[in-house]
Each structure stands twice: as C-alpha cells, then as structure tokens.
Copies of this chain bind each other. A is one copy, B any other.
Amino acid sequence: MEKDQKHRLVDAGALQAFIRSVLRHSGLPEADAGTVAALMAEADLQGSDGHGVIRLPQYHKRLQTGGMNPRPNIRVVTERAAMAVVDGDNGMGHLVMSFAAKLAIEKARTAGVAWVGTRASNHAGPASLYARMPIEHDMIGMYFAVGNANHLPPWGGMEMLLSTNPIAVGIPSGSEPSVVLDMATTVAAYGKVKAKAKRGEAMPEGWMIDRQGRPLLDPTRAHEGFLLPIGGHKGYGLALIVGLLAGTLHGAAMGRDVVDFNQDHVTPTNTGQAILVIDLNAFGAPADFKQAVDKLVRDIHDSERMPGVERIWLPGEQSHARRAEYAAGIPIGATIVDELDQLADRLALEKLVCLTSS
C-alpha cells in the first residue's frame, strides 16, 4: 500500500467478515468461505495488497460466470509416501492450496520431505501464505506457482509464453522473525507497473522493454512491451523451470495454455502449484537449526552497511513489521473501498466497515 494514496483503515476481522459474506453469496460453503476470507485478509494484513481483497470483485465474477467452481470436489489423484497430485476441480486456489499444504505437512511428518502439486486450481493470493504454513510445525515450506497471465517472453523473444512464476520459501527461526522469501521471477511484478500508471509516474529503467528491446519507461504503454526477468536469461530460465515444476509436472497449464484471468472470466485456468515441505525433525533437533538461523539473521543485521543505508532487511521482515503495524487497521485504497461498496450494493450485502478515512 503506497502511503501517498488515499486510503481507509479497516480492521482485519471486519475485512475477513466482509470477504466471507461476499463468498457465501457467491455460493461457497460456510467453512470454505471462512478459509478463503482468512487467507485473503492475511494477504492484506502483511501488505501483499495486490493479492488480497483487491481481487474479490474478480473472484466473485468468475464464481458467478462459472469460470470458477464454488463447490469443488478437491481430491488426491495420485500419491506416494512423499508426494501427491491434487485435482482442485476448478475451486478457489486458496482452498486447493490449503488442502495441498496440509497434506504435504502430514506426509513430511513421516517421510521427512514431501511434494504436493495441484492442477485445476486457481489464483491463490500471495505465494508466501503457503510457504509460511509449514513453519509453525517446525518445517520449511517452498512454493512454486504458474502465474495467471503471461507477461514474459523467453530471453530474446517477443511472444509472452511465460508468467512471472513466483517462488516462495519459508524458513523457521527461533527468536528472530522467520525468513520468508516471496519473489516473482521478473524485476517488477505487473501490479507494480499498474500502480505506477495509476500515480502517473515513470518506471525506472530495467523494469520493461519495448518490442525493439529499448527501455520502456511509460507505464501507460506497458501493453506495448514486456517485463524483464531478473538477471536477464537467468530469470527467464527460472520462470521456465518454475512453470515446468508447478504446471507441466501436474498436468496444469503452462506456456500457450495459460489463461489470462484478468481478461477472461470464464475459461477454467487449470492453474498449477507445488509445495515442498521439509520437516526439520528429520534432520536433527529443530532448536539447533533455528538457533543457527537466528545467528545468521543477527550477523546480517549487524554487518557493515553501504553509505546511506539505514538498515539491512532480511526477506520477510517487512511483511512481519506490517502485520504488527496493521493490527491497528489495514490501509485499503479508497478506490478499492468504493468498488467493494458497489459490489456490496449489487449483492444487497452489508458494506465493508471502515475505521477511518484519510
């Protein structure tokens, strides 16, 4: 949430209640609506505001048009001691991935390590939600997903065959905050480009290029160019590998099969995801590992800084700080609140309760 935008403060509980009521109205069973609402509110609470309540109108539309199944039969289609493939029956990604993460945690408890993949799933919000789930069980989580719109051509190419396919990893710690990496394989996520356009700002060089390979700085011309992968050909390679691991391996969409869910609200996306869970107990005493992580975190915090740098951040620390800060109220952009109000009116539901406006 950019602080210079107009916003309203919303209590996490109120946000969750509003999301739940819209999802109930969209046909989800009570328990499922609660699960998705909790995860969506959690996304906003940690500052992943591109993947939280902002997506609700879009989800609602897909559920209404039949593009997403409100009452899926989520089931295991194949499994072994340390793996499973879950068919999401075109249900909401949050439900499918919660099912997958839970199963992977159970399997890892016995096998030491487990991989659970999904197909016929959907957009599931920020990757870090799922990478973090194993942490409270003294387990490491690693999450891969195929993004829900292709914005990245192969290196040297012009056809957008790849998405920003994210990687997220959650690592348990002791007294320090857990280390949680959540990154797209492009320099900037597409949401950041849209935000620049909204604020009338230019993009920095390195975010996008045009069809001649020249830097593209005007975010309103984003449709004329492509996102750049991190490290050039390396990021392209990572996006491709993540797509193969999360999508192709599970029979989910990849490459030309990926449905742009921002444009198309009807065609099932057949989204693929994967979670790898590693049980620390299989490797030794979890306390020893967590102590070593704490020490590394402190070594990094205390290490010498570049001139002008106030603080060295660990991956996940900013989200951790936001969860504390936003406990008093989550800032939601005023235009988003307006859109949610309109949705509530259309569905004859109570509006989102805001704490303040600013």
Q: CB distance A156 to B255 under 8 Å?
A: no
CB contacts (< 8 Å) of A254 on chain B: these are 292, 296
Known contacts A238-B183, A241-B315; A213 and B307 CB within 8 A of each other: yes
A308 smallest CB distance to B (angstroms): 8
CB contacts (< 8 Å) of A305 on chain B: these are 156-158
Interface residues of A toward B: which range? 35 or more
Cβ contacts A58-98/B at 8 Å (1 or 0 each): 00000000000000000000111111010000000000000
Q: CB distance B237 to A312 under 8 Å?
A: no
A304 smallest CB distance to B (angstroms): 4
- Is residue A115 within 8 Å, beta carbon to beta carbon, of the partner chain? yes
- Is residue A306 within 8 Å, beta carbon to beta carbon, of the partner chain? yes
Known contacts A113-B114, A248-B293, A283-B78; A303 and B154 CB within 8 A of each other: yes
Report how far A158 CA is from B308 CA in the complex, Å. 12
Report how far A308 CA is from B305 CA in the complex, Å. 41
CB contacts (< 8 Å) of A304 on chain B: these are 157-159
A277 smallest CB distance to B (angstroms): 10
Known contacts A248-B296, A251-B284; A241 and B113 CB within 8 A of each other: no
- Is residue A171 within 8 Å, beta carbon to beta carbon, of the partner chain? yes
A154 smallest CB distance to B (angstroms): 5
A127-141: which have CB < 8 Å to B?
140
- Is residue A299 within 8 Å, beta carbon to beta carbon, of the partner chain? yes
- Is residue A344 within 8 Å, beta carbon to beta carbon, of the partner chain? no
Stretch at the interface among A5-13, A37-45, A47-55, A226-234: A226-234
Q: CB distance B231 to A309 under 8 Å?
A: no
- Is residue A215 within 8 Å, beta carbon to beta carbon, of the partner chain? no
Q: A80-B113, A169-B241, A248-B296 are in contact. List 19 more A-B contacts (CB 8 A).
A: A78-B284, A79-B112, A83-B113, A83-B282, A115-B278, A117-B283, A153-B303, A157-B304, A157-B309, A171-B241, A179-B244, A183-B231, A183-B238, A230-B234, A230-B235, A231-B231, A233-B313, A244-B293, A276-B276
A-B residue pairs, 8 tightest by C-beta: A230-B231, A80-B112, A82-B82, A83-B112, A82-B111, A159-B303, A156-B309, A237-B315
